Amino acid sequence: MSNTSTLSPKFQAVIPREIRKQLHLKPGQQIEFTINGNHIELRPLLQPEELIGFLKEEKPLKFVREGDRDLK
């Protein structure tokens, strides 16, 4: 299956089904467009509730305050 789409006269394109499924895209979801050289990158924007646990690690993150760095 090809992951291509044709640009319409209104400059619209359909995101192929496989990509929509893989990224769990939903109708009405906002997408950010970025130019990277001669490529366009599409990135789905996440809602705050979707960010819960986004950076979850098995080990807790260690934070070092600026004052603590000066003591070393």
Assigned domain for 7 exists: no
Angle (CA) 12-3-48 rounded to 5° is 65
Assigned domain for 9 exists: no
Give the count of alpha carbons within 13 A of 36, CB side only: 8
Confidence (pTM): 0.56
Q: What is the mean pLDDT of residues 6-25?
A: 92
Residue 32 CA to residue 53 CA, distance in Å, equals: 22
Q: Is 39 helix (H, G, I), strand (E, B) or coil?
A: strand
Q: What average pLDDT is seen over the chain? A: 81
Assigned domain for 47 exists: yes
Judge whether 7 and 13 are in contact, CB under 8 Å: yes
> Which one-letter amino acid corresponds to residue 11?
F
Residue 24: pLDDT over 90: no
Assigned domain for 2 exists: no
Q: How many domains does the chain have?
A: 1
Assigned domain for 1 exists: no
Assigned domain for 66 exists: yes
Residue 36 CA to residue 20 CA, distance in Å, equals: 21
Which range marks the domain in which residue 43 is found? 17-70
Q: Dump pLDDT digits (tens) for 28-52.
A: 889 999 999 999 999 888 776 666 6
